[in-house]
A and B are shown apart, each in its own frame.
Chain A
Amino acid sequence: MLPAACAHRVVSILSQALEDCAEKKKKLEDNLALCRALLGDWKVQTPESPKPECDPAGDQVSEPSAKELEELELLNRALEKALRVRKSTLQSPLGALGAAGGEKAAEKKPATSIARTQRAPCSKESIPKTIKVTSVSKKAAFSKKFPTYMLKAPYRTDPVKAPTHQSSRAPKMTGEASTKQVRKTAPATSLCQEVFCAVAEPSGSPRSLPCEQQSSSSFGGSASGKNPVAADPENDCPGSSTESPMTQSQKAGDFLVGSTTARTFTLQEKGSLLKLPLPYRKAYTRNSRLWEKCRLCQSSSATAAVRNHFLERMQASFCSSAPALSPAEIEEEVMVLHDTHSFLSQCMESETTGHPTWEREYESLLTLEGLRDMASQCLLKLQQLHAAAESQVRLRPSDCTHSTRTSLEDCTSFRGRRCGATPLLFYSSVQELREMTSLKLQVAMLHQQIHIQKVLVAELLPVVESRLPQDESPSHLYRAVYTQLCEGGERFPVLVNDELPD
């Protein structure tokens, strides 16, 4: 057992250390959670994601898809009915289409069986329906896309003229028009989540890329040649102007088609396609430019003169008995001394290594002498600072608080901070970063351990020294103190009774 007085200090130090650790851990955990969320799957946001009322990814997405699936069920049933009615009249021209569609279906990985049954009869017929589905199951925000499809609607929603239309357009279907048409359905697919993705045929898949861009708010894809930006009205109808890059984006589209089934976004796959929102980009460039300007802006000599003049007049009005060095200056000097000390000790260590030749030895001797002189200068300085600090405490006005850590500026953290771009620390590999982090932590931990050790020594050794000689069974206390002070709490000594059996 330890007396309360000495134990108090030790306990409070250890508790403080624990609290600090817990604080750091908490901060770290928040950051880690965010990182993990960013690296996981980003659920593709619903089209209104640019709007402020949208929830963070994943929250809203599950509900609409369930609702959508229900609606799609109903619509599919209606579709099938209609298809059965039309089958007989439109069998021949669409048979080719159906075959083509079937082929395409075979090539493509279909998402669900619903999509397949929908496709099998004829893709043509499904087109007007999908547009309707679009209008029904889409949220209000997509109404802005609706007009574009309305424009094309007359071509497709008129089943009476269908035979002539379709026969004339059937050859076109395989050409560009097909891409256009199916392209128009592709937004429907991307919007109606995985159910319609099968309709996004390879030829139409390029379209899914811009759609995905639209639906996934601020993801900018350079594939389409455009950079849609969150909440940017100019992104209303990328489809209408993306006809030319279609072929180019074919590859990207194919790539995306493979993942459209998952309908999620991962940073790993598409991270390099991301683009920052335009307002942010502008603000960022303006901001960094201004910081540079601030860094380069120097006071003119006239300004400096006036400032100094003011300062000196103020100085003249100061109390003459005020100490020469302010607490801030004392601290600054202490920091400088500290740096000098670590620097000197490093030099000293490097000089005391083996010397092969007499020249080298002589050189190191001279260096050590120089270091010794510098060290004695530093010691002198330290004494002066000590005296200054004491006079500070003496002369301090009564209502100044003792703590020198004013919240206005935390001087240690301001050391070396200047205007301008934030300094960059480059790392070239994960190992480097990890090593640096672990070393930093080790150093901090060692600092703390050394400090705790000093406190423990100061508090516990006297107790042991005073108590043990008289104590009946010293082993507990002795072993406990031994392990704390000498082994860092990791190993115990063994106490053996030195009594020879008689």
Chain B
Amino acid sequence: MRSGRAGTLPAAIGALCRALPLESRPAPETFRLAKFDRPQASLRRVLSPKPAEISTQIRFVKSVLWYHGYGRPEFYQLPSDGSVGSRELLLAFSWLLNRINLLEQLLIANRVKIGDETSVCTCEGNLPNTWKGRTEIVPELCLKSEVDVRYLQWLNGRLRFQWRNLHVDHQEQCKLFHKIHSYTVGCHIDHTIGHFSVTEVDLVRQPHSYKQLLQLLESETSRLEAFLEWKQLEPVYWHWMVMNQPNIKDVKSEERELPDEREFCAAVRTITEAVELKLSDLKYHCAHKKNGMHGPYRLVFKDKTVISELRMQEAKLGRQLKRLQEECRHKLDQIAEGLAGVICIPPTKR
């Protein structure tokens, strides 16, 4: 360990800890102690902030890491009582930190909501996945007996009614938003925004409620500062982690251990790292070039505004639904032909 760096490691770890959300913040000591394989609850807490019993936490942490592709078998073999494994946890945590920019993700996820937020994307991915997941997870309803089909009709009718209600409420909210926004034009310090959001107006009206918001904002600000500090001191942490990594059949690292060849190996290392960086840059550009193939088509896409895109989506989905309904009509017509003595007259199309 180079002497110049030794002093900044605690600073780096301190900045890392301060950049984490308050409720899952480990003490900086944790990192140093984690090297020695001990039960370490606080590192686990970072990854699974919801308080739960140890085995649930451990299972959750393992799932998260599996989800992101962590592949150390020693980690997954850790016992579920949390008695050992702080070193593996440290490795896993650092890996996640590196791989998915965990700090940034946490900062973004926990961002204080001040403005009137809305989303534009209509990612279908959200809906069907959650639907499917839920129908599996939903516990068996006590439908031991048969169900009248009219019950389904009734449920469906209720759903349509709810949607209409929701629609009306949303329209009302638009109106109110517009009023509030237009009445407070020119008040905001940020000129690109220009007017207040609902939260900000409420802030002015009930100053005592803004103390909590202020606290949240200030804690977010201090976390951001810690994050920037961390970005400066990061290399120290990673060097330390590399030292802590288990011995891997890596020829270079063994050479590094020999003091008399240290300078030579340091030079080799910098060169290989630079080459690695160049290669990953190249890969990155290749991936982007592939997207570039779609370039000329993409331009058309961008010209469209949000509303026209939404209209197109609505039309497309409407057609899809109609198609499904048509298919059903065909099938049911066929069935009707099989019925003796009955003719089915479909309802008139309006």
- CB <8 Å contact, B207 and A217: yes
Q: In the bound complex, what is the Cα–Cα distance between A322 and B68 (angstroms)?
A: 12
Task: Report chain B residues within 8 Å CB of A302.
Answer: 235
Q: With contacts A309-B276, A316-B250, A485-B328 known, is A403 near B312, CB below 8 A? A: no
Q: In this assembly, does A306 line the interface, its C-beta being within 8 Å of a C-beta of chain B? A: yes
The interface on chain A, measured as residues whose beta carbon lies within 8 A of the other chain's beta carbons, has a size of 177
Task: Report chain B residues within 8 Å CB of A484.
Answer: 152-153, 156
Stretch at the interface among A122-130, A143-151, A457-465: A457-465
Q: In this assembly, does A100 line the interface, its C-beta being within 8 Å of a C-beta of chain B? A: no
Q: In the bound complex, what is the Cα–Cα distance between A397 and B328 (angstroms)?
A: 43
Task: Report chain B residues within 8 Å CB of A38.
Answer: 180, 198, 201-202, 205
- CB <8 Å contact, B175 and A493: no
Task: Report chain B residues within 8 Å CB of A443.
Answer: 122, 310, 313-314, 317
Task: Report chain A residues within 8 Å CB of B67.
Answer: 326-328, 404, 406
Q: With contacts A440-B122, A478-B344, A491-B347 known, is A305 near B276, CB below 8 A? A: yes
Q: With contacts A283-B221, A310-B238, A449-B321 known, is A483 near B153, CB below 8 A? A: yes
- CB <8 Å contact, B317 and A274: no
Q: In this assembly, does B69 line the interface, its C-beta being within 8 Å of a C-beta of chain A? A: yes
CB distance from A424 to the nearest CB of B (A): 7
- CB <8 Å contact, B344 and A291: no
Q: In this assembly, does B262 line the interface, its C-beta being within 8 Å of a C-beta of chain A? A: no
- CB <8 Å contact, A446 and B321: yes
Task: Report chain B residues within 8 Å CB of A160.
Answer: none
Q: In this assembly, does A54 line the interface, its C-beta being within 8 Å of a C-beta of chain B? A: yes
Per-position binary interface string of chain B over residues 166-206, scored 1 when its CB falls under 8 Å from any chain A CB and 0 otherwise: 11011111111111100111111110110010101111111
CB distance from A485 to the nearest CB of B (A): 4
Q: In this assembly, does A84 line the interface, its C-beta being within 8 Å of a C-beta of chain B? A: no
- CB <8 Å contact, B149 and A1: yes
Q: In this assembly, does B146 line the interface, its C-beta being within 8 Å of a C-beta of chain A? A: yes
- CB <8 Å contact, A486 and B227: no
- CB <8 Å contact, A275 and B187: yes
Q: In the bound complex, what is the Cα–Cα distance between A35 and B159 (angstroms)?
A: 26
Q: In this assembly, does B143 line the interface, its C-beta being within 8 Å of a C-beta of chain A? A: yes
Task: Report chain B residues within 8 Å CB of A436.
Answer: 306-307, 310
- CB <8 Å contact, A35 and B307: no
Q: In the bound complex, what is the Cα–Cα distance between A304 and B326 (angstroms)?
A: 56
Q: In the bound complex, what is the Cα–Cα distance between A39 and B184 (angstroms)?
A: 11
| Partner of A437 from B160, B171, B311 at Cβ < 8 Å | B171
- CB <8 Å contact, B170 and A441: yes
Per-position binary interface string of chain A over residues 347-382, scored 1 when its CB falls under 8 Å from any chain B CB and 0 otherwise: 100000000000000000000000000100000000
- CB <8 Å contact, B144 and A57: no
Which of A4, A42, A329 lies at the interface centre, i.e. has the most chain B CB atoms within 10 A of its CB?
A4
Q: With contacts A1-B149, A414-B108, A440-B122 known, is A312 near B276, CB below 8 A? A: yes
- CB <8 Å contact, A12 and B122: no
Q: In this assembly, does B3 line the interface, its C-beta being within 8 Å of a C-beta of chain A? A: no
- CB <8 Å contact, B135 and A13: yes
Task: Report chain B residues within 8 Å CB of A481.
Answer: 149, 332
Q: With contacts A14-B156, A276-B204, A451-B127 known, is A469 near B307, CB below 8 A? A: no
Task: Report chain B residues within 8 Å CB of A480.
Answer: 149-150, 152-153
Within 8 A of A (CB), among B200-241: 200-208, 210-211, 213-214, 217-218, 220-221, 224-225, 227-228, 231, 234-235, 238-239, 241
Q: In this assembly, does A78 line the interface, its C-beta being within 8 Å of a C-beta of chain B? A: no
- CB <8 Å contact, A464 and B180: no
CB distance from A274 to the nearest CB of B (A): 5
Q: In this assembly, does A89 line the interface, its C-beta being within 8 Å of a C-beta of chain B? A: no
Q: In this assembly, does B277 line the interface, its C-beta being within 8 Å of a C-beta of chain A? A: yes
- CB <8 Å contact, A277 and B203: yes
- CB <8 Å contact, A489 and B156: yes
Q: In the bound complex, what is the Cα–Cα distance between A448 and B132 (angstroms)?
A: 12
Q: In this assembly, does A22 line the interface, its C-beta being within 8 Å of a C-beta of chain B? A: yes
Per-position binary interface string of chain A over residues 464-477, scored 1 when its CB falls under 8 Å from any chain B CB and 0 otherwise: 11001100001111
- CB <8 Å contact, A457 and B248: no
- Chain B, Cβ-Cβ closest to A286: B221
Q: In this assembly, does B264 line the interface, its C-beta being within 8 Å of a C-beta of chain A? A: no
- Chain A, Cβ-Cβ closest to B233: A303
Q: With contacts A328-B69, A408-B47, A436-B310 known, is A457 near B324, CB below 8 A? A: yes
Q: In the bound complex, what is the Cα–Cα distance between A414 and B206 (angstroms)?
A: 33
Q: In the bound complex, what is the Cα–Cα distance between A435 and B157 (angstroms)?
A: 25
CB distance from A410 to the nearest CB of B (A): 8
CB distance from A436 to the nearest CB of B (A): 6
Q: In this assembly, does A271 line the interface, its C-beta being within 8 Å of a C-beta of chain B? A: yes
Q: In this assembly, does A498 line the interface, its C-beta being within 8 Å of a C-beta of chain B? A: yes
Q: In this assembly, does A433 line the interface, its C-beta being within 8 Å of a C-beta of chain B? A: yes
Q: With contacts A35-B176, A274-B184, A287-B224 known, is A18 near B159, CB below 8 A? A: yes
- CB <8 Å contact, B122 and A279: no
- CB <8 Å contact, A430 and B343: no
| Partner of B205 from A52, A57, A306 at Cβ < 8 Å | A57
- CB <8 Å contact, A31 and B146: no
Q: In the bound complex, what is the Cα–Cα distance between A120 and B330 (angstroms)?
A: 89
- Chain A, Cβ-Cβ closest to B46: A408
List 8 A-B residue pairs with CB atoms under 8 Å apart, sorted by A's residue number.
A4-B146, A18-B158, A39-B180, A335-B123, A346-B301, A478-B336, A487-B347, A499-B341
Q: A329-B69, A422-B111, A489-B157 are in contact. List 15 more A-B contacts (CB 8 A).
A: A21-B159, A22-B162, A50-B207, A294-B224, A294-B228, A309-B273, A316-B250, A318-B70, A347-B300, A406-B64, A414-B105, A415-B123, A434-B171, A451-B128, A496-B344
Q: Sorted from nearest, which 5 A-B pairs have the closest CB atoms? A: A326-B69, A318-B71, A271-B183, A305-B273, A7-B147
